Structure 1
Amino acid sequence: MRAHLHQIVVDCHDPQSLVRFWATLLGTTPVDRARGWSHLDLPTGGRISFQPVPEPRPGKNRLHLDVAVDDLPAAVALATSLGAVPTGETVTDDQGSFRTMADPEGNEFCFVTT
């Protein structure tokens, strides 16, 4: 048997709004689907889907997305203008820099530079 990653699914309250946040941030087109689902196909390949769920996010994410950017302050400014919130300061080490953010529904992600 051979397996491959089909998509990453994000549980959320409002898939149509959240997919538009991510589509704008990642430079792609949102797609609304049946039963309240939405998704976006990444320009580099892969898919992120957004599934409607009634329950709130229970706590810290066990999985998050790292989004590579070439201008960290500009990426933070764009994401903030779209409804994201920075959740920490910029951290720099020998691997590069990153800034932890929360999307409009509180899902954590990081902007990273190398």
Structure 2
Amino acid sequence: MTLRFTEICIDATDIHSLGAWWSEVLGWPLAITEDGDVQLQSAAGPTMLFLSVPEGKSAKNRIHLDFTPDDQQAEVARVVGLGAQHVDIGQGEQSWVVLADPEGNEFCILAGE
């Protein structure tokens, strides 16, 4: 049996706003699916699919996204400037920075390589 990782689904109360935010952060094109969901397509990997839910986020994510930039400090500043917020999930002093998107979904910007 073979599996391919093709998509990560993200619940959101406002799929259009959150999808547009992530599209701007990542530079991935945004499309609306036949079902009316918002989809972002990476040139080299899986898509991000935003699914509408009525409730907001209520607890720490059980899974999150990690991103490795060329310049961590510059990317953190850029993404915070777009509306991300610093989040303390008990990580302490680390080489990565934990942020949250406008709907509170945590993600990390790792130290550049």
Q: Do the aligned residues in 1 keep the contact of 2:98 with 2:109 (CA within 8 Å)?
A: yes
Instruction: Indicate yes or no: 2:19 matched with 1:23.
Output: no
Deviates more, 1:97-106 or 1:78-87: 78-87
Alpha-carbon offset, residue 59 of structure 1: 0.2
Alpha-carbon offset, residue 42 of structure 1: 1.1
Q: Do the aligned residues in 1 keep the contact of 2:56 with 2:103 (CA within 8 Å)?
A: no
Alpha-carbon offset, residue 34 of structure 1: 4.1
What residue is the counterpart of 2:38 in the other structure?
A: 38
Q: Do the aligned residues in 1 keep the contact of 2:72 with 2:109 (CA within 8 Å)?
A: yes
Q: Do the aligned residues in 2 keep the contact of 1:85 with 1:102 (CA within 8 Å)?
A: yes
Counterparts of 2:102 and 2:34 in 1: how far apart (Å)?
Answer: 22
What residue is the counterpart of 2:109 in the other structure?
A: 111
What residue is the counterpart of 2:99 in the other structure?
A: 101
Identity of aligned residues (%): 36
Counterparts of 1:49 and 1:78 in 2: how far apart (Å)?
Answer: 23
The two structures have a TM-score, normalised by structure 1, of 0.85
SS at match of 1:58: coil
Alignment of 1:1-12 (within 5 A): 1-12=1-12
Residues 91 and 20 from structure 1, CA distance in 2 versus in 1: closer, same or farther, beyond 3 angstroms?
Answer: farther
What residue is the counterpart of 2:52 in the other structure?
A: 52
The two structures have a TM-score, normalised by structure 2, of 0.86
Q: Give the ranges of 4+ consecutive aligned residues of structure 1 lying more than 3 Å apart after TM superposition.
A: 88-92
Alpha-carbon offset, residue 82 of structure 1: 1.4
Spell out, residue by residue over 1:29-60, the C-alpha distance to the aligned partner (whole angstroms, 9 max, x if none): 11123444101111322101100000121200
Alpha-carbon offset, residue 68 of structure 1: 1.0
Alignment of 1:67-106 (within 5 A): 67-88=67-88, 91-92=93-94, 97-106=95-104
SS at match of 1:70: coil
| Higher strand proportion (structure 1 or 2) | 1
SS at match of 1:51: strand
Alpha-carbon offset, residue 90 of structure 1: 8.4
Aligned length in residues: 110
Residues 23 and 90 from structure 1, CA distance in 2 versus in 1: closer, same or farther, beyond 3 angstroms?
Answer: farther
